[in-house]
Structure 1
């Protein structure tokens, strides 16, 4: 096999995050389902933004957050996602490149604005997302560079990408190229509501071998199999995919393969501030451990450490060096 140029290449929605602390009344007033992700149009985006208090703004998107975390651990990382050539799109591009991530997707010259996600964080740390995909849904198979995909040890895809038809085709193209080059393909299920929309298609991807590794949280896993019994759902997951990793909040995570399950505890934290990006950063740590050959247990510990860092402050990007944090905690980097 040819030497990889990148350890992990992510493909996802390039979304600019607008985060604000709020209360339950705001969610009720705007008819939001707490803890979920809703797709919204530009008019609703403007209405929510107009009613929000002071916000923290930063580049985001699920797969992009994961890729930035991987780069922060010292891996070679790249991202494919679509922004428009507008002010927010240029900010987005600068941010992700400043995090040492290769980002070469050409911006759209016209069409919808760069995507934004309005993220409401309640006092319990739970985040509720309202996402205007904008230019992100303009990602097409033409944006997938076969040479870059084939040169990546792991190609990481986000379930949110399954919403727009063109992005879905781009996803499948990338998976085929990666497997032809004998690379691995990972998919995060992203959100229980996302699983609800595409349950059959996600299961089909897993059972046909289009993805090798699945990331999910407990709610997403149970939604996938439409059963409330976690152990029964985990058994089905082990039958459907080569490697499954399921996060369980304060219970840690389980790493499931055909012949067994490894449980890894959560990393202790001082205070839960904002769960935005917890799953994204967990995936970053796990994938880093995987490409470094650290073993499933150490990969799970790296994931737990990265997730613990990000939930102790506002926003889905680490505020300290994950590489130094891993060293301080005796983890392989």
Structure 2
């Protein structure tokens, strides 16, 4: 296998995040399912935005958050995602490049606006997302650069990509190129509602070897295997994929292969502020550990550390150096 130009390349829905603190009754009034992600149209997006209070706005998207976290650890990173050549799209492109992530996807000249996610954070730190995909849904196979994919040690994909048809084709093209180049392909299941929509297709991706590594949280794992029993679901995951990583909030995470289960505790926090990006940043730390050959336990600890950093402030991007945090905690960087 030739050496990689990038440690990790992520492909995802390029989404601009609009975050606001709110009460539970706002969710009820607007018919939102707490803790989930709903796909919305432009009219619904405008109505939610008009009803929201003062917001924090920043570049987001699940895989983009992960890749920015990886860059923050010191990894060599690239991102593929579609924005429109509009004000928000230009801001998005600037933000991700400023984070030292290579971003070369051509912006759309016409069509829908750059995608936005309206994220409501309730006092318990839970986040509820309403996502207008916009230009993100126009990501297609032509946006996949074979040289860039083949030059990446790990290609990381988000489950939300399975919503737009063109992105699904881009995802499969990238996986084929990566495997032909003897690279690894990772997938995060993204959301229990996403798993409900595409359960059979996700299982086929795993069982066919289209993906090598699965990231899931507990609710996604239960949704995938339609069982309330954690151990039963974990055993099935070990049979279906080469490597599975399941996050369990304050209970830490479980890393499974067909031969072993590694349990890693969560990192301690002072105050839970906002769970937005917890899974994304966990994946960043874990993938960083993998590309540094740190072993599954250290990879899990790096993931836990990054997740702990991001849930103690508003927003899904790190606000302190993850590389420094890792060093302070005696973890490999």
Name the TM-score, length of structure 2 as normaliser.
1.00
Alignment partner, residue 133 of structure 2: 133
Q: Which residue of 2 aligns with 1:99?
A: 99
Name the counterpart of 2:24.
Answer: 24
1:200 alignment counterpart: 200
Q: Partners of 2:140 and 2:9 in 1: how far apart?
A: 16
Matched residue, 2:41: 41
Equivalences for residues 1-333 of structure 1 within 5 A? 1-333=1-333
SS at match of 1:255: strand
Deviation at 1:258, TM superposition (A): 0.7
CA distance in 2, matches of 1:224, 1:94: 36
d(CA) in 1 for partners of 2:262, 2:138: 39
Structure 2 unmatched ranges of 5 or more:
none
In 2, the alpha carbon distance for the partners of 1:137 and 1:321 equals 32
CA distance in 2, matches of 1:332, 1:274: 27
Deviations 1:250-309 (A, max 9, x none): 000000011110000000000000000000000000000000000000000000000000
Displacement after TM superposition at 1:45 (Å): 0.2
- What secondary structure is seen at the aligned counterpart in 2 of 1:106? coil
How many Å separate the matches in 1 of 2:284 and 2:47?
33
In the alignment of these two chains, the number of paired residues is 333
Distance 1:295 1:265 in 2: 15
> For the aligned residues, what is the CA RMSD?
0.3
Separation in 2 of the partners of 1:131 and 1:26? 17
Unaligned runs of 5+ in 1: none
Q: Aligned partners of 1:312 and 1:129: how far apart in 2?
A: 19
